[in-house]
Protein backbone atom coordinates (compact mmCIF):
# COMPACT_ATOMS: atom_id res chain seq x y z
CA UNK A 1 0.00 0.00 0.00
CA UNK A 2 1.43 3.37 -1.01
CA UNK A 3 1.53 5.95 1.73
CA UNK A 4 3.16 9.23 2.66
CA UNK A 5 4.88 10.36 5.81
CA UNK A 6 7.63 12.64 7.05
CA UNK A 7 11.14 11.25 7.44
CA UNK A 8 14.59 12.37 8.51
CA UNK A 9 17.16 11.21 5.93
CA UNK A 10 20.11 11.72 8.30
CA UNK A 11 20.86 12.85 11.84
CA UNK A 12 21.32 16.42 10.63
CA UNK A 13 18.55 16.73 8.04
CA UNK A 14 15.14 18.18 8.75
CA UNK A 15 12.06 16.00 8.47
CA UNK A 16 10.57 16.18 4.96
CA UNK A 17 7.82 14.44 2.94
CA UNK A 18 8.64 10.81 2.19
CA UNK A 19 6.67 8.41 -0.03
CA UNK A 20 6.89 4.73 0.90
CA UNK A 21 4.97 1.44 0.98
CA UNK A 22 3.32 -0.30 3.91
CA UNK A 23 3.21 -4.10 3.81
CA UNK A 24 -0.04 -5.83 2.87
CA UNK A 25 -1.72 -6.99 6.11
CA UNK A 26 -0.58 -10.44 7.24
CA UNK A 27 -3.22 -12.83 8.66
CA UNK A 28 -2.93 -11.29 12.15
CA UNK A 29 -2.43 -7.67 11.05
CA UNK A 30 -4.61 -4.60 11.24
CA UNK A 31 -4.26 -1.82 8.63
CA UNK A 32 -4.88 1.63 10.10
CA UNK A 33 -5.49 5.05 8.61
CA UNK A 34 -3.73 7.40 11.03
CA UNK A 35 -5.77 10.40 12.16
CA UNK A 36 -3.46 11.89 14.77
CA UNK A 37 0.05 11.30 16.11
CA UNK A 38 1.62 12.86 19.20
CA UNK A 39 5.16 14.26 19.18
CA UNK A 40 7.36 12.67 21.85
CA UNK A 41 10.83 13.86 22.84
CA UNK A 42 12.01 10.33 21.90
CA UNK A 43 11.01 11.12 18.28
CA UNK A 44 13.49 14.00 18.33
CA UNK A 45 16.20 11.83 19.97
CA UNK A 46 15.68 9.15 17.27
CA UNK A 47 15.59 11.57 14.32
CA UNK A 48 18.85 13.14 15.51
CA UNK A 49 20.48 9.81 16.49
CA UNK A 50 21.02 11.03 20.08
CA UNK A 51 21.04 7.41 21.30
CA UNK A 52 23.04 5.99 18.36
CA UNK A 53 21.67 3.23 16.13
CA UNK A 54 19.09 5.28 14.23
CA UNK A 55 18.46 3.88 10.74
CA UNK A 56 17.56 6.30 7.91
CA UNK A 57 15.16 7.15 6.49
CA UNK A 58 13.66 7.50 9.97
CA UNK A 59 9.90 8.07 10.28
CA UNK A 60 9.26 8.78 13.99
CA UNK A 61 5.92 8.70 15.82
CA UNK A 62 4.60 6.30 18.46
CA UNK A 63 1.52 8.05 19.81
CA UNK A 64 -0.83 6.91 17.07
CA UNK A 65 -4.60 7.16 16.84
CA UNK A 66 -6.52 6.00 13.79
CA UNK A 67 -9.27 4.04 12.15
CA UNK A 68 -9.09 0.39 11.01
CA UNK A 69 -9.32 0.13 7.20
CA UNK A 70 -8.60 -3.59 6.70
CA UNK A 71 -7.91 -6.70 8.78
CA UNK A 72 -6.07 -9.96 8.14
CA UNK A 73 -7.98 -13.26 7.92
CA UNK A 74 -7.22 -14.30 11.52
CA UNK A 75 -7.88 -10.97 13.27
CA UNK A 76 -10.54 -11.26 15.98
CA UNK A 77 -10.09 -8.25 18.27
CA UNK A 78 -10.59 -5.39 15.81
CA UNK A 79 -13.00 -4.67 12.98
CA UNK A 80 -12.95 -2.32 10.02
CA UNK A 81 -14.12 1.13 11.15
CA UNK A 82 -12.98 0.76 14.79
CA UNK A 83 -11.03 3.61 16.34
CA UNK A 84 -7.77 2.18 17.62
CA UNK A 85 -4.36 3.24 18.88
CA UNK A 86 -0.75 2.12 18.64
CA UNK A 87 2.02 3.07 21.05
CA UNK A 88 5.75 2.33 21.19
CA UNK A 89 5.56 -1.44 20.63
CA UNK A 90 4.42 -3.23 17.47
CA UNK A 91 5.67 -6.76 18.18
CA UNK A 92 7.54 -9.06 20.58
CA UNK A 93 8.11 -12.83 20.82
CA UNK A 94 4.87 -13.40 22.86
CA UNK A 95 6.51 -16.63 24.12
CA UNK A 96 8.94 -15.69 26.90
CA UNK A 97 8.18 -15.20 30.59
CA UNK A 98 8.05 -11.40 30.22
CA UNK A 99 5.59 -11.54 27.33
CA UNK A 100 3.57 -14.12 29.25
CA UNK A 101 3.12 -11.78 32.16
CA UNK A 102 2.19 -8.87 29.91
CA UNK A 103 5.45 -6.97 29.96
CA UNK A 104 6.27 -7.13 26.26
CA UNK A 105 8.48 -4.06 26.66
CA UNK A 106 10.93 -6.31 28.52
CA UNK A 107 10.63 -9.22 26.05
CA UNK A 108 13.66 -11.51 26.48
CA UNK A 109 14.16 -11.47 22.72
CA UNK A 110 13.77 -7.72 22.39
CA UNK A 111 10.56 -5.93 21.53
CA UNK A 112 9.96 -4.46 18.10
CA UNK A 113 9.66 -0.68 18.32
CA UNK A 114 7.10 1.22 16.28
CA UNK A 115 10.02 2.87 14.49
CA UNK A 116 13.70 2.13 14.11
CA UNK A 117 13.46 -1.63 14.75
CA UNK A 118 13.86 -4.61 12.41
CA UNK A 119 10.51 -6.24 11.64
CA UNK A 120 10.51 -9.79 13.10
CA UNK A 121 9.46 -11.41 9.82
CA UNK A 122 11.01 -9.51 6.94
CA UNK A 123 13.78 -7.64 8.80
CA UNK A 124 12.81 -4.27 7.31
CA UNK A 125 13.30 -1.18 9.48
CA UNK A 126 9.99 -0.16 11.06
CA UNK A 127 8.62 3.28 10.18
CA UNK A 128 6.44 5.10 12.67
CA UNK A 129 3.32 7.19 12.92
CA UNK A 130 4.28 10.45 11.18
CA UNK A 131 2.42 8.96 8.22
CA UNK A 132 -0.99 8.45 6.68
CA UNK A 133 -1.13 4.65 7.24
CA UNK A 134 0.40 1.91 9.36
CA UNK A 135 0.04 -1.88 9.51
CA UNK A 136 0.40 -3.52 12.95
CA UNK A 137 0.00 -7.00 14.48
CA UNK A 138 -3.40 -7.05 16.21
CA UNK A 139 -2.04 -8.00 19.64
CA UNK A 140 -0.29 -4.61 19.72
CA UNK A 141 -3.31 -2.54 18.68
CA UNK A 142 -5.25 -0.87 21.54
CA UNK A 143 -8.99 -0.34 21.76
CA UNK A 144 -10.33 3.18 22.34
CA UNK A 145 -13.36 3.81 24.51
CA UNK A 146 -15.74 6.22 22.75
CA UNK A 147 -15.53 8.60 25.72
CA UNK A 148 -11.95 9.48 24.68
CA UNK A 149 -11.47 12.54 22.48
CA UNK A 150 -9.49 11.11 19.54
CA UNK A 151 -7.62 14.35 18.81
CA UNK A 152 -6.21 14.38 22.35
CA UNK A 153 -5.68 10.66 22.90
CA UNK A 154 -2.37 10.06 21.07
CA UNK A 155 -0.06 11.27 23.87
CA UNK A 156 -1.53 8.70 26.25
CA UNK A 157 0.17 5.99 24.17
CA UNK A 158 3.66 6.99 25.27
CA UNK A 159 3.66 9.93 27.70
CA UNK A 160 0.60 8.45 29.42
CA UNK A 161 1.74 4.85 29.86
CA UNK A 162 5.35 5.80 30.72
CA UNK A 163 4.01 7.78 33.69
CA UNK A 164 1.18 5.41 34.57
CA UNK A 165 3.34 2.28 34.82
CA UNK A 166 5.74 3.49 37.56
CA UNK A 167 2.85 5.15 39.44
CA UNK A 168 1.10 1.77 39.56
CA UNK A 169 4.24 -0.25 40.28
CA UNK A 170 5.16 1.99 43.23
CA UNK A 171 1.55 2.14 44.46
CA UNK A 172 0.71 5.80 44.02
CA UNK A 173 -2.64 6.50 45.63
CA UNK A 174 -4.32 8.24 48.53
CA UNK A 175 -1.71 9.09 51.15
CA UNK A 176 1.29 8.75 48.85
CA UNK A 177 3.54 11.67 48.03
CA UNK A 178 4.66 11.88 44.43
CA UNK A 179 7.19 14.27 42.89
CA UNK A 180 7.42 14.84 39.14
CA UNK A 181 10.70 16.26 37.81
CA UNK A 182 10.36 18.13 34.49
CA UNK A 183 6.94 19.41 33.48
CA UNK A 184 6.81 18.46 29.80
CA UNK A 185 4.89 15.81 27.87
CA UNK A 186 5.58 12.95 30.29
CA UNK A 187 5.61 15.19 33.35
CA UNK A 188 2.20 16.74 32.78
CA UNK A 189 0.66 13.28 32.29
CA UNK A 190 2.38 12.05 35.46
CA UNK A 191 0.78 14.97 37.34
CA UNK A 192 -2.71 14.31 35.95
CA UNK A 193 -2.54 10.56 36.53
CA UNK A 194 -1.01 10.73 40.02
CA UNK A 195 -3.60 13.34 41.05
CA UNK A 196 -6.42 11.16 39.66
CA UNK A 197 -5.07 8.23 41.68
CA UNK A 198 -5.39 10.36 44.81
CA UNK A 199 -1.71 11.07 45.50
CA UNK A 200 -0.30 14.36 46.82
CA UNK A 201 1.63 15.72 43.82
CA UNK A 202 4.57 18.14 43.66
CA UNK A 203 6.17 19.36 40.44
CA UNK A 204 9.94 19.82 40.47
CA UNK A 205 10.69 22.36 37.76
CA UNK A 206 13.69 24.50 36.86
CA UNK A 207 11.79 27.76 37.37
CA UNK A 208 8.52 28.92 38.90
CA UNK A 209 7.17 29.81 35.42
CA UNK A 210 4.91 26.75 35.29
CA UNK A 211 3.44 27.16 38.80
CA UNK A 212 -0.07 28.14 37.64
CA UNK A 213 -0.04 25.35 35.04
CA UNK A 214 1.13 22.79 37.58
CA UNK A 215 -1.75 23.64 39.92
CA UNK A 216 -4.26 23.62 37.05
CA UNK A 217 -3.01 20.17 35.99
CA UNK A 218 -3.77 18.87 39.47
CA UNK A 219 -0.50 19.31 41.37
CA UNK A 220 -0.60 20.52 44.98
CA UNK A 221 2.64 22.48 44.74
CA UNK A 222 5.70 23.34 42.68
CA UNK A 223 9.25 23.19 43.94
CA UNK A 224 11.98 25.04 42.01
CA UNK A 225 14.79 22.50 41.72
CA UNK A 226 17.51 25.17 41.80
CA UNK A 227 16.19 26.78 45.01
CA UNK A 228 18.55 25.12 47.51
CA UNK A 229 16.73 26.46 50.55
CA UNK A 230 13.33 25.18 49.41
CA UNK A 231 14.89 21.86 48.37
CA UNK A 232 16.52 21.45 51.80
CA UNK A 233 13.15 22.09 53.47
CA UNK A 234 11.59 19.38 51.28
CA UNK A 235 13.95 16.64 52.55
CA UNK A 236 12.27 13.26 53.24
CA UNK A 237 8.97 14.44 51.78
CA UNK A 238 8.42 12.01 48.89
CA UNK A 239 7.68 8.33 48.48
CA UNK A 240 8.24 8.43 44.75
CA UNK A 241 9.82 10.85 42.30
CA UNK A 242 9.38 10.35 38.57
CA UNK A 243 12.28 12.01 36.75
CA UNK A 244 11.38 12.91 33.15
CA UNK A 245 14.31 15.25 32.43
CA UNK A 246 15.39 14.37 28.86
CA UNK A 247 19.11 15.15 29.15
CA UNK A 248 22.12 14.29 31.33
CA UNK A 249 21.52 15.97 34.69
CA UNK A 250 22.55 15.75 38.34
CA UNK A 251 20.14 13.61 40.37
CA UNK A 252 21.93 14.28 43.66
CA UNK A 253 19.58 17.16 44.60
CA UNK A 254 16.55 14.85 44.21
CA UNK A 255 17.69 11.88 46.32
CA UNK A 256 17.46 13.52 49.79
CA UNK A 257 13.89 14.57 48.96
CA UNK A 258 12.86 10.92 49.21
CA UNK A 259 11.68 9.48 52.50
CA UNK A 260 13.13 6.22 53.85
CA UNK A 261 12.50 3.50 51.23
CA UNK A 262 11.53 6.12 48.66
CA UNK A 263 12.30 5.58 44.99
CA UNK A 264 13.54 7.88 42.25
CA UNK A 265 12.34 6.42 38.96
CA UNK A 266 14.24 7.66 35.93
CA UNK A 267 12.19 7.63 32.74
CA UNK A 268 13.83 10.57 30.90
CA UNK A 269 17.56 10.44 30.24
CA UNK A 270 18.68 7.24 28.51
CA UNK A 271 22.43 6.99 29.04
CA UNK A 272 24.88 8.19 31.61
CA UNK A 273 24.32 10.61 34.50
CA UNK A 274 26.84 12.42 36.72
CA UNK A 275 27.88 10.29 39.70
CA UNK A 276 25.13 9.88 42.29
CA UNK A 277 26.20 9.93 45.96
CA UNK A 278 25.42 6.69 47.77
CA UNK A 279 24.94 8.54 51.06
CA UNK A 280 21.17 9.12 50.73
CA UNK A 281 20.77 5.56 49.44
CA UNK A 282 22.61 3.95 52.35
CA UNK A 283 21.30 6.31 55.04
CA UNK A 284 17.66 5.80 54.17
CA UNK A 285 17.45 2.74 51.92
CA UNK A 286 16.46 5.03 49.08
CA UNK A 287 16.45 3.54 45.60
CA UNK A 288 17.14 4.64 42.06
CA UNK A 289 15.17 2.75 39.43
CA UNK A 290 14.30 3.05 35.77
CA UNK A 291 11.14 2.20 33.88
CA UNK A 292 10.35 1.64 30.20
CA UNK A 293 6.88 2.54 28.87
CA UNK A 294 4.47 -0.28 29.87
CA UNK A 295 3.05 -3.51 28.47
CA UNK A 296 0.01 -3.77 26.21
CA UNK A 297 -2.42 -4.89 28.94
CA UNK A 298 -1.30 -2.07 31.21
CA UNK A 299 -1.58 0.41 28.33
CA UNK A 300 -5.17 -0.73 27.77
CA UNK A 301 -5.83 -0.39 31.52
CA UNK A 302 -4.41 3.18 31.40
CA UNK A 303 -6.55 4.10 28.37
CA UNK A 304 -9.65 2.76 30.10
CA UNK A 305 -8.73 4.63 33.32
CA UNK A 306 -8.38 7.87 31.33
CA UNK A 307 -11.72 7.28 29.56
CA UNK A 308 -13.45 6.65 32.90
CA UNK A 309 -11.88 9.66 34.63
CA UNK A 310 -11.98 11.96 31.58
CA UNK A 311 -8.21 12.46 31.60
CA UNK A 312 -6.69 13.90 28.42
CA UNK A 313 -3.34 15.50 27.77
CA UNK A 314 -3.13 19.25 27.10
CA UNK A 315 -2.29 19.42 23.43
CA UNK A 316 -1.33 21.90 20.74
CA UNK A 317 -2.49 20.69 17.35
CA UNK A 318 -0.04 21.18 14.48
CA UNK A 319 0.13 20.47 10.75
CA UNK A 320 2.65 17.87 9.57
CA UNK A 321 4.73 20.58 7.86
CA UNK A 322 5.20 22.32 11.24
CA UNK A 323 7.11 19.36 12.70
CA UNK A 324 10.61 20.85 12.43
CA UNK A 325 9.51 23.98 14.24
CA UNK A 326 7.75 21.77 16.83
CA UNK A 327 11.00 19.84 17.45
CA UNK A 328 12.86 23.12 18.02
CA UNK A 329 10.19 24.35 20.39
CA UNK A 330 10.17 21.04 22.28
CA UNK A 331 13.92 21.33 22.75
CA UNK A 332 13.36 24.73 24.37
CA UNK A 333 10.60 23.19 26.56
CA UNK A 334 8.22 25.60 24.79
CA UNK A 335 5.19 23.31 24.54
CA UNK A 336 2.19 23.11 26.83
CA UNK A 337 2.27 20.21 26.94
CA UNK A 338 2.24 17.97 23.88
CA UNK A 339 2.18 18.61 20.15
CA UNK A 340 -0.23 16.44 18.19
CA UNK A 341 -0.03 16.23 14.40
CA UNK A 342 -3.34 16.32 12.52
CA UNK A 343 -2.71 13.80 9.72
CA UNK A 344 -5.40 15.40 7.56
CA UNK A 345 -2.70 18.02 6.89
CA UNK A 346 -0.56 15.51 4.93
CA UNK A 347 -0.75 15.65 1.13
CA UNK A 348 -2.26 12.62 -0.63
CA UNK A 349 0.04 9.64 -1.36
CA UNK A 350 1.54 9.66 -4.88
CA UNK A 351 -0.56 7.75 -7.37
CA UNK A 352 0.81 5.00 -9.60
P1 LIG B 1 9.56 17.16 26.99
O2 LIG B 1 8.13 17.33 26.65
O3 LIG B 1 10.59 17.88 26.20
O4 LIG B 1 9.70 17.52 28.57
C5 LIG B 1 10.89 17.44 29.26
C6 LIG B 1 10.85 18.44 30.44
O7 LIG B 1 12.09 18.29 31.15
C8 LIG B 1 10.78 19.90 30.04
O9 LIG B 1 9.47 20.37 29.90
C10 LIG B 1 11.49 20.59 31.18
O11 LIG B 1 10.62 20.78 32.30
C12 LIG B 1 12.54 19.58 31.59
N13 LIG B 1 13.81 19.87 30.93
C14 LIG B 1 14.03 20.07 29.60
N15 LIG B 1 15.32 20.32 29.36
C16 LIG B 1 15.94 20.28 30.55
C17 LIG B 1 17.28 20.46 30.97
N18 LIG B 1 18.24 20.76 30.08
N19 LIG B 1 17.55 20.33 32.28
C20 LIG B 1 16.57 20.06 33.16
N21 LIG B 1 15.28 19.88 32.81
C22 LIG B 1 14.98 19.98 31.53
O23 LIG B 1 9.99 15.63 26.89
P24 LIG B 1 9.06 14.31 27.06
O25 LIG B 1 8.43 13.98 25.77
O26 LIG B 1 8.27 14.46 28.30
O27 LIG B 1 10.19 13.22 27.26
C28 LIG B 1 11.05 13.27 28.39
C29 LIG B 1 12.12 12.22 28.24
O30 LIG B 1 11.54 10.93 28.45
C31 LIG B 1 12.81 12.14 26.88
O32 LIG B 1 14.20 11.93 27.08
C33 LIG B 1 12.20 10.93 26.24
O34 LIG B 1 13.06 10.32 25.28
C35 LIG B 1 12.02 10.04 27.44
N36 LIG B 1 11.01 8.98 27.29
C37 LIG B 1 11.22 7.83 27.99
C38 LIG B 1 10.31 6.82 27.95
C39 LIG B 1 10.49 5.57 28.75
O40 LIG B 1 9.85 4.57 28.44
N41 LIG B 1 11.29 5.59 29.79
C42 LIG B 1 9.14 6.98 27.18
C43 LIG B 1 8.95 8.17 26.52
C44 LIG B 1 9.87 9.17 26.59
P45 LIG B 1 10.73 22.06 33.27
O46 LIG B 1 10.60 23.24 32.34
O47 LIG B 1 9.56 21.85 34.17
O48 LIG B 1 12.01 22.02 34.00
ZN1 LIG C 1 7.57 8.44 23.39
Q: What is the pLDDT of residues 252-266, one digit of tens each?
A: 999 999 999 999 999
Mean pLDDT of 104-121: 98
Distance between CA atoms of residues 262 and 285, nearest Å: 8
CB 148 within 8 A of CB 170: no
CB 280 within 8 A of CB 273: no
- The pLDDT-based confidence of 350 (bands split at 50, 70, 90) is confident
Torsion sign over Cα 243, 245, 249, 253: negative
Q: Which atom of ligand 1 is nearest to the CA of 246?
A: 32
Using the mean position of ligand 1's atoms as its centre, give its distance from the Cα of residue 125 in Å: 26
Mean pLDDT of 273-278: 95
Using the mean position of ligand 1's atoms as its centre, give its distance from the Cα of residue 268 in Å: 6
pTM passes above 0.85: yes
Q: 201-204 — which CB contacts under 8 Å span 24+ positions?
A: 202/177, 202/178, 202/234, 202/237, 202/238, 203/179, 204/179, 204/180, 204/241, 204/254, 204/257
Q: Are strands 29-38 and 338-342 parallel, antiparallel or unpaired?
A: antiparallel
Looking at the CA of 60, name the nearest ligand: 2
Output the CA–CA distances (angstroms, integers) from residue 141 to 182, 221, 321, in the order listed: 29, 37, 27
The pLDDT tens digits for 122-176 are 999 999 999 999 999 999 999 999 999 999 999 999 999 999 999 999 999 999 9
- pLDDT for the residue 237: 98
Mean pLDDT (the chain) is: 97
Q: Is the pLDDT of residue 294 over 70?
A: yes
CB 59 within 8 A of CB 22: no
- pLDDT for the residue 351: 65
**What 3-state DSSP class applies to 23?**
coil
If you ran DSSP here, which 8-state letter would residue 8 be given?
A: B
251 lines ligand 1 (CB under 6 A): no
Mean pLDDT of 47-76: 97
To test the pocket of ligand 1, the residue of 246, 271, 330 to mutate (highest count of ligand atoms within 8 Å of its CB) is: 246
CB 87 within 8 A of CB 165: no
Please give the angle made by the CA atoms of 243, 220 and 207, to the nearest 5 degrees.
Answer: 55
Q: Is the pLDDT of residue 120 over 90?
A: yes
CB atoms within 5 A of ion ligand 2 belong to 40, 42, 158
Distance between CA atoms of residues 151 and 134, nearest Å: 18
To test the pocket of ligand 1, the residue of 179, 210, 244, 340 to mutate (highest count of ligand atoms within 8 Å of its CB) is: 244
42 lines ligand 1 (CB under 6 A): yes
Q: Are strands 142-143 and 177-181 parallel, antiparallel or unpaired?
A: unpaired
Using the mean position of ligand 1's atoms as its centre, give its distance from the Cα of residue 134 in Å: 27
Tell me phi and psi for residue 340, to 5 degrees: -130, 130
**Which residues, listed in sequence order, are joined to residue 249 by a DSSP beta bridge?**
none
- The pLDDT-based confidence of 352 (bands split at 50, 70, 90) is low
Length of the chain: 352
Q: Which atom of ligand 1 is nearest to the CA of 187?
A: 26
φ/ψ bin of 337: left (φ > 0), alpha (ψ from -120 to 50), beta (otherwise): alpha
242 lines ligand 1 (CB under 6 A): no
60 lines ligand 1 (CB under 6 A): no
Q: Which atom of ligand 1 is nearest to the CA of 40?
A: 25
Distance between CA atoms of residues 40 and 286, nearest Å: 30
Amino acid sequence: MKTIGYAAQSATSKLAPFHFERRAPRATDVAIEILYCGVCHSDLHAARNDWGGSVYPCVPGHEIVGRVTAIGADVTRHAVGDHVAVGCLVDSCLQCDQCHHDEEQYCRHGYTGTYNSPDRINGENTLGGYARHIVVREAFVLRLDNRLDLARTGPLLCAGITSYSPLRRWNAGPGSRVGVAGLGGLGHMAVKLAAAMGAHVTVLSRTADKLADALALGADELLVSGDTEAMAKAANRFDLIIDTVPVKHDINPYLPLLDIDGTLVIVGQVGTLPEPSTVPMIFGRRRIAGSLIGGIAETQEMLDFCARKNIHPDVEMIRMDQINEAFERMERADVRYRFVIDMASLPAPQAG
